[in-house]
Amino acid sequence: MQHIRPQALKARLELGESPFLLDVREPWENQLVALPGSTLIPMGEVPARLAEIPRDQEVIVYCHHGVRSMQVGYFLDHHGVQVTNLLGGIDAWSLQADPQTPRY
Cα dihedral 68, 41, 64, 3 in deg (nearest 10): 60
The pLDDT score that the predictor gives to residue 39 is: 98
63 is a catalytic site residue: yes
Tens digits of per-residue pLDDT, 49-104? Answer: 999 999 999 999 999 999 999 999 999 999 999 999 999 999 999 999 999 999 99
Tens digits of per-residue pLDDT, 27-61? Answer: 999 999 999 999 999 999 999 999 999 999 999 99
Q: Can you state the percent helix, strand and coil of the chain, rounding each to 5? A: 45, 15, 40
Q: Does domain 2-97 have CATH number 3.40.250.10?
A: yes
Single out the catalytic residue among 59, 60, 63, 76.
Answer: 63
pTM of the model: 0.96
